[in-house]
Amino acid sequence: MNEIDWKNLPFGYSKTDYNVRCYYKDGKWGELEVSDSEFITMHMAATCLHYGQEAFEGLKAFTGIDGKVRIFRLEENAKRMIRSANGVMMAEVPVELFREVVLKAVKLNLKYVPPYGEGASLYIRPLLIGTGAQVGVKAAKEYLFMVFVGPVGPYFKEGFNPVKMQIVRDYDRAAPLGTGHIKVGGNYAASLRAGDRAHQDGFASCIFLDAREKKYIDEAGPANFFGIKGNTYVTPDSSSILPSITNMSMRVLAAEMGLKVVQRQVPVTELEEFDEVGACGTAAVISPICMIHDRDTGKEYKYCKNGQVGDISQKLYFKLKGIQEGTEPDIHGWNTIVE
Task: Provide the pairing of β-strand 224-229 with 276-281.
Answer: antiparallel
Taking the complex as a whole, how short is the minimal distance between the CB of residue 9 and ligand PLP, in angstroms?
A: 18
Taking the complex as a whole, how short is the minimal distance between the CB of residue 282 and ligand COI, in angstroms?
A: 4
Give the nearer residue to ligand COI in terms of CB position, either 280 or 304: 280
- Report what 166 binds from ligand PLP, ligand COI, none; CB cut-off 5-8 Å by kind: none
Query: Alpha carbon of 154 to those of 8, 10, 45: distances in Å?
Result: 9, 6, 36
- Which candidate in 104, 183, 214, 229 is catalytic? 183
- Report what 178 binds from ligand PLP, ligand COI, none; CB cut-off 5-8 Å by kind: none
- Report what 195 binds from ligand COI, ligand PLP, none; CB cut-off 5-8 Å by kind: none
For residue 242, give the nearest of 284, 193, 194 by alpha carbon. 284
Give the nearer residue to ligand COI in terms of CB position, either 102 or 140: 102
Give the nearer residue to ligand PLP in terms of CB position, either 83 or 299: 83
Residue nearest to ligand COI (CB): 58
Is position 183 annotated as part of the catalytic site? yes
Classify residue 208 by its DSSP letter. E
Q: Which residues bind ligand PLP (CB under 6 A)?
A: 58, 219, 222-224, 242, 244-247, 281-282
What is residue 92's three-state secondary structure? coil
Beta strands in 83-194 (DSSP E): 121-130, 143-152, 163-168
- Report what 242 binds from ligand PLP, ligand COI, none; CB cut-off 5-8 Å by kind: ligand PLP
Residues in the chain: 339
Ramachandran angles phi, psi of 253, nearest 5°: -65, -40
Query: Alpha carbon of 127 to those of 14, 57, 157, 190, 295: distances in Å?
Result: 16, 7, 25, 19, 35
Residue nearest to ligand PLP (CB): 281
Taking the complex as a whole, how short is the minimal distance between the CB of residue 43 and ligand COI, in angstroms?
A: 26
Q: Which residues bind ligand COI (CB under 6 A)?
A: 58, 222, 281-283
Q: Residue 305: left (phi > 0), alpha (psi -120 to 50), or beta?
A: beta
Active site residues: 183
